[in-house]
Structure 1
Amino acid sequence: MSFLLYVLALAVFAQGTSEFMLSGLIPDLAADLGVSVSSAGLLTSAFAVGMVVGAPLMAALGRRWDRRRALLGFLTAFVVVHIVGAVTDDFAVLVVTRVAGALANAGFLAVALTAAAAMVAPDAKGRATSVLLSGVTLACVAGVPAGALLGQVWGWRSAFWAVALVSLPALAALVRALPQGAPGAAEPGRTRGVRQELRALRRPRLLVTMALGALVNGATFCTFTYLTPLATEVAGFGGGWVPPLLALFGLGSFLGVTAAGRLADSRPLRLLVAGGVALCVGWAVFAATAGDQAATVTLVLVQGTLSFMVGTTLIAQVLYAAGEAPTLAGGFATAALNVGAALGPWAGGVALSGGFGYRAPLWVSALLVALALLAGGTAWAVAARRAGSSAPAGDRGRTGGASLTE
């Protein structure tokens, strides 16, 4: 793997830390800026909206530059808005910085996904994707707990400064490592117009794969968002156990992307089917045994692993299927994941508001994965019928993995 790919992963680590760190900073931030906790919670929603809207828009904007300029521009903007966020005393300005930071994050990740796929052999996109997304999983393991600790010791602003500082080595390395290039110069997909790429992205196989990614990611974040009350109110853990449980989930996510890196290119269909079924069953078992502390600890790790293994494989399949939309595919894959990241917590919140208890998000997660399995199985059946075959031709990692539908 290229050194540059690990530099991109470092930047993604900083961005993932920024996305998730507010969960441990909201009360102090609200008190410092004189707003309610619920109002401060809008900062998380602002970031999510910025990611969903920004990913395809920023990917399209990035077409105007070569990848070097796009990546440097987005990462520089990300650093600047975090510095502004760290010094402002105006809540409205902080909201604007969160939206701007999400737009920069979305643009960087969209370009980085396509750049990572271009750095490796045509049959190694899954491995490249797993290396890049390991930055997000390491943010869950180390970045978010560290941000919470910094907030407790030096205040919430220190976490914003830390994200900016961690981004600087990646920015410096990109300046040195990325090759020079003229805007629009000889990069794959530059000869295609935006309309041509958008038409390619409407292919059923791509739409189905992105929908599956949204459902699986929705299931992941449905439970992850409400893991604290689940652990304390249902499993009976003390509050001090929450950071280790979150870190354990993050460790599982790292193991999941690592496993996907080894298997997503050679056996994607088997991984998606077996992993998807295991993931669905695992959420249901977790819901049934959530009152047992040993089961909770075990399933936090297992479900974190399965969730990111299946999710990373689906992203790789988007990149394989989007050969005719190389500059926009990463943006739409990013948007699909963040649709899931918004859908899951909302659905879990609806279940909680309905009085179904803190186990309800686990059942919602199981339902979302079951819907993904049903949608994927239906798409495969339709594709097989159209091809006049009752069985898939087999895993085809070298030609783009398992085709769900054409």
Structure 2
Amino acid sequence: MDCVVIGGGVAGMQAALSFRKAYSEKTVTLVDNESEVGYYRTLLPQFMNRTLPENKLFFWQDQDDPRFTIISGVRVESLERENRALVLSDGSQIPYRRLIIASGGRPVIPPVCGAAGIAGVFTVRSLTTAREARVWLPQHPEVVIVGGGLVGVKTAAYLASQDIPVTLIEKENHLLPQALSSQAAQLAEEHLLRNKVQLLLGSTIEDIQSSSGSISAIKASGQWVNCRTLFVAAGSVPEVTFLADSGLLREGNLEVNRALQTTDANIFAAGDAVTIVERDNFTPWTWPQAAVQGQLAAHNLYLPAPFSLSCLSRVNAMNLHGLSLVVLGIPVEGAERCVYTNPAAGVYRELYQVDGRIVGGALVGDITNAGKLHWMMNIGDRIDTDFTELLEPRLETFAKMSPSCAKLNQRAVFLPS
């Protein structure tokens, strides 16, 4: 096989499709343990609350390409680098000339949530699980969600929109701790509270009760909460267990350089499975980064001098059923924060800058100019204008800026979230 891709999520599918475009005469095989590939995991909350039909989840449809083969429903058990082959769970092997590892992540499940045999406990990670939850929910509407990150918050917002009682538990003292400052997160918290989501911040799940084999209550911070459906959204870790004996892991991490190349010149990797080694180690964890990395890994496979990622950022965009939110990146040490706020309109916008360069920020309630601000952060130039003015949510803001920023007036596109 000219190229084999492990993983049918956004990084893997984008890698496979990009490889076919870049190397039209070569073949690509994609392997995934799920039965379906090429769908938006980020839309699973809307699917589970029945506001989105299943066919709208998919960003790819089979196009009957004889040079593109998909092997689904089987797991990669191990990688034999000396033979350039993958060993699959059905006992078969797949040879490769070049390999892209885009195996994604596996959910973190607190020990108390993993009690065997209790029905009504779900992760928000796969279409198979989402289908089960979609059927289960109407008869078991008292919901508890463990984890106040992007997945947990979005799931809470969309379930609450259907008048489903929801309690959201987050161990930190504010929601979205890996994405927002406490000030920016406050608007998201107020939005959920207005939609009758109960928040237990600074709390962890301590115990579970069941009745007739199904979950009935959970204990958090000393109090019992009725629970007939439990969603575990406590984050994920890279799924690289099949690489344990491959020699590719360093302290359990699959490390790549900015060209997404591993220590094996024939193997590249992308998405949630990887740790990018720069001055500091960087783990992507966002949909847009995974898509870009999949595309770049594919283009680099047969290049004598691979290209490097131009930007390492954790940008993400989402809508919490009525509250728009764009994350440009959490603050870095030594950064100065600039803020624009309009409490009456439910707007909070902040940027973090170091030496006149944007290094992070968040737009909550009004995402005007989000694409242009992200682009400005990516190019890394010093900004010769007042940051306070830059934060004002006015479309004409960039039109008044100096010629050095004129290129930012082009339309910027965000990937779906």
Which is greater in Rg? 2
Return the structure number with greater helix share: 1
TM-score normalised by length of structure 2: 0.25
TM-score normalised by length of structure 1: 0.26
